[in-house]
């Protein structure tokens, strides 16, 4: 993993989705939207890796 990957807008969106999903699971305890955002964050992480070429 290099700095270009960490600065990728796709990776930044993925991190925001993962953090938002964890927040929704922990604070208001909303499991469906929380897990939905976590799954979307993981998908965006995979897409960011694909866009980088690794």
pLDDT at residue number 54: 61
pLDDT at residue number 53: 81
pLDDT tens-digit map of 9-54: 999 999 999 999 999 999 999 999 999 999 999 999 999 999 888 6
Neighbouring CB atoms inside 10 A of 48's CB total: 20
Query: For residues 44 and 16, what is the distance between their CA atoms, to the nearest angstrom?
Result: 10
What is the DSSP secondary-structure string of the chain?
--HHHHT-HHHHHHHHHHHHHHHHHHSS--HHHHHHHHHHHHHHHHHHHHHHT-
At residue 4 the predicted structure's pLDDT band, cuts being 50, 70 and 90, is confident
Backbone angles phi, psi at 26, to 5 degrees: -85, -45
pLDDT at residue number 40: 98
pLDDT at residue number 1: 62
Annotated domain spans of the chain: 3-52
């Amino acid at each position: 993993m290099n700095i270009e990957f960490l600065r990728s807008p796709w990776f930044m969106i993925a991190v925001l989705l993962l953090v938002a999903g964890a927040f929704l699971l922990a604070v208001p305890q909303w499991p469906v939207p929380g897990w939905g955002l976590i799954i979307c964050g993981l998908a965006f992480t995979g897409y960011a890796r694909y866009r980088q070429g690794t």
